[in-house]
């Protein structure tokens, strides 16, 4: 059976049942599977793809990774995503498989060294990364982009780059990306606006070539830009006077971000693969060790993110965008980003109805960051089978999102401390860096709002995030 979907020619799809058996696929994948000795109704005969499918079925979460598949004398360079299928009643089914890229590369031929050198140069200033195929459809989007820009990185894959960004001319009336595309060469500082949030970014990329030297897409990087038009990672003007210690801390933060993020991402992915025992049975204590490694990696990435954000919000000229946003919609986005973490912790998140709207004035990207922080704390401190409530309300001239949990609560004497820098009520408990709520409140106040808490021992906690009403 063939799936005929209106998708770019470099995107291939398949559906497998809950036992990992192939139900239907595009002709290209059916042909590849047949050459590997497989057939419809049986598990995939392609080892790399079968591993991703089994991992998604075991973890019951989406799994995405790059896979190299042997096809005769050539290798196929694929980006693969496996999405578990769940019906409205929550019953787990099979897996939807999406393959993007489908680039052919002779195994003995590679331009990886040249790509790596140029990519490292551009990555040094970037906040997050992206990749496209030869027709500029997205094949990869780093996880940090989802939280930072309010976009679903998984859903964006296979879509044209221009569905994520509105591209703009430079001062000379030129689109750097078009010049790079025409010449099949590197381009830098393509100004673009994120459609979802209105955030301005600078895009840079290096070309990717296949074994025959043909253009196969871009490996790209994005650099946030502040409202004045200056890249946040660029040089500061002389008016930004700071102490030598602050300057040193900024440099350390930037180097930590560039140096640690990539290796930590790989460590986490490898540890999760081991934990899931996707390549064969493993002693349970070893699988538990792998889970601990993955959790430690995520904790370190969180610390790096907090340090970067801390330095940004404490700059003298720090500002945020102020524009109309649907506060209730942003709350639903935040809940979506935390849904898997909550499910793993056996916690339910009750969100505002899809039709509910609450217009406020603020920065959608920063508002999402605040709400993700509040929800992450609520998930961390909720009991098993607990519920987190998110409510959208009007309060005089303010729009409010309330995040309530059923945790152990916060004593009155501690409620001011939790918003202080590096403060935690109980340092012995598992948790973050003590910066999350400090950053959240600073961001809320920069947008003309605030974050406050209403709680008591044994009564759970209600965090109220307010912004000015719009309309």
CATH number of the domain that residue 207 is part of: 3.30.450.20
* Poorest-pLDDT segment among 20-24, 313-317, 429-433: 429-433
Residue with token string 């606006």:
193
> Which residue, of 313, 347, 371, is where some domain finishes?
313
pLDDT average, residue stretch 248-264: 57
Looking at the structure, tell me whether residues 275 and 191 fall in a common domain: no
Q: Name the domain count of the chain.
A: 4
The answer to whether residue 350 is domain-embedded is yes
The answer as to whether 397 is a domain residue is: yes
Of the listed ranges 91-95, 176-180, 204-208, 393-397, the one predicted with least confidence:
91-95
Tell me if residue 156 falls in helix, strand or coil.
helix
The number of residues in the chain equals 471
169 lies in the same domain as 73? no
Whether residues 295 and 329 fall in one domain: no
pLDDT band at 126 (very low <50, low <70, confident <90, very high): low
* 234 lies in some domain: no
Q: Examine the pLDDT at 320 and tell me if it is beyond 60.
A: yes
DSSP assignment letter at 225: B
Determine, yes or no, domain membership for 235: no
Residue 433 pLDDT > 80, yes or no? no
Both 78 and 194 in one domain: the answer is no
Tell me whether residue 128 is in a domain. yes
Do both 331 and 458 map to the same domain?
A: yes
pLDDT range class, residue 12, cuts 50, 70, 90: confident
Residue whose C-alpha is closest to residue 376's, from 302, 304, 450, 307: 302
Do 146 and 48 share a structural domain? no
Q: Is 43 exposed, middle or buried (0-12, 13-18, 19+ CB in 10 A)?
A: middle
| Residue 1 falls inside a structural domain | no
pLDDT bucket at 232, cuts 50 / 70 / 90: very low
Which range, 60-74, 220-234, 300-314, is most confident?
Answer: 60-74
Same domain, residue pair 43 and 141? no
Picking from 313, 335, 350, the residue at the C-terminal end of a domain is 313
Asked if 341 and 308 sit in the same domain, the reply is no
- Provide CB contacts within 8 A for 15, sequence distance 6+: 3, 22, 23, 24, 25, 85, 94, 95, 96, 97
Report which listed range, 44-53, 168-177, 240-249, 261-270, is most confident: 44-53
In a domain, 417, yes or no: yes
**CA distances in angstroms from 189 to 159, 200, 216, 433, listed in the order given:** 22, 11, 21, 33
Q: Coil, strand, or helix at residue 400?
A: strand
Whether residue 308 sits in one domain with residue 366: no
Domain that holds residue 82: 11-105
Q: Is residue 165 part of a domain?
A: yes
What letters, b where the CB count within 10 A reaches 16 and e where it falls short, cover 215-232? ebbbbbbbbbbbeeeebb
Same domain, 251 and 382: no
Give per-residue pLDDT as tens, 158-185. Answer: 788 888 888 888 777 778 888 888 777 8
Q: Residue 339: is its pLDDT beyond 80?
A: yes
Of 192, 224, 256, which one is at a domain's C-terminal end? 224
> What is the DSSP-derived secondary structure letter of residue 204?
E
Q: Which two tokens stand for residue 187?
A: 């381009």
Give yes or no: residues 284 and 416 share one domain.
no
Is residue 112 predicted with pLDDT exceeding 60?
no
For residues 270 and 387, membership in a common domain is answered with: no
- Alpha helices by DSSP H, listed for 314-411, are 327-344, 364-381
Mean per-residue pLDDT for 419-430?
67
CATH number of the domain at 446, please. Answer: 3.30.565.10
In percent, how much of the chain has pLDDT > 70?
71
């Amino acid at each position: 059976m063939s799936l005929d979907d209106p998708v770019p020619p470099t995107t291939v799809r398949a559906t497998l049942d809950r036992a990992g058996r192939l139900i239907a696929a595009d002709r290209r994948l059916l042909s590849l599977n047949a050459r590997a000795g497989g057939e419809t109704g049986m598990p995939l005969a392609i080892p790399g793809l079968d591993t991703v499918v089994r991992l998604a079925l075991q973890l019951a979460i989406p799994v995405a990774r790059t896979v190299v598949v042997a096809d005769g004398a050539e290798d196929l360079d694929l980006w693969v995503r496996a999405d578990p299928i769940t019906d409205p009643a929550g019953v787990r089914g099979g897996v939807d498989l999406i393959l993007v890229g489908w680039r052919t590369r002779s195994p003995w031929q590679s331009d990886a060294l040249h790509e790596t050198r140029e990519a490292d140069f551009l990555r040094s200033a970037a906040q997050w990364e992206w990749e496209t195929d030869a027709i500029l459809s997205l094949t990869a989007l780093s996880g940090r982009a989802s939280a930072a820009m309010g976009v679903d990185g998984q859903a964006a894959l296979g879509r044209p780059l221009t569905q994520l960004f509105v591209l703009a001319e430079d001062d000379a009336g030129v689109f750097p990306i078009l010049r790079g595309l025409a010449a099949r060469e590197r381009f830098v500082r393509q100004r673009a606006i994120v459609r979802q949030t209105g955030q301005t970014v600078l895009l840079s990329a290096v070309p990717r070539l296949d074994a025959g030297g043909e253009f196969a897409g871009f490996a790209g990087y994005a650099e946030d830009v502040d409202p004045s038009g200056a890249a946040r990672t660029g040089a500061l003007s002389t008016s930004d006077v700071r102490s030598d210690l602050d300057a040193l801390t900024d440099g350390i933060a930037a180097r930590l971000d560039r140096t640690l993020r990539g290796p930590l991402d790989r460590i986490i992915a490898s540890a999760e693969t081991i934990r899931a025992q996707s390549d064969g049975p493993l002693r349970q204590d070893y699988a538990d060790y792998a889970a601990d490694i993955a959790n430690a990696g995520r904790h370190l990435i969180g610390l790096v993110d907090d340090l970067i954000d801390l330095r940004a919000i404490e700059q003298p000229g720090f500002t945020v965008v102020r524009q109309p946003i649907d506060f209730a919609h942003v709350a639903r986005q935040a809940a979506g980003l935390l849904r898997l973490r909550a499910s793993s912790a056996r916690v339910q998140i009750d969100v505002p109805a899809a039709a509910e709207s609450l217009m406020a004035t603020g920065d959608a990207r920063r508002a999402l960051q605040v709400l993700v922080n509040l929800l992450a704390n609520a998930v961390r401190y909720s009991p098993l089978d607990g519920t987190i409530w998110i409510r959208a309300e009007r309060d005089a001239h303010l729009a409010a999102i309330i995040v309530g949990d059923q945790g152990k609560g916060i004593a009155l004497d501690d409620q001011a401390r939790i918003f202080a820098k590096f403060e935690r009520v109980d340092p012995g408990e598992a948790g973050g860096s003590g910066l999350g709520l400090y950053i959240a409140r600073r961001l809320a106040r920069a947008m003309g709002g605030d974050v406050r808490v209403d709680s008591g021992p044994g009564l759970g906690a209600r965090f109220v995030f307010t912004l000015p009403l719009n309309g």
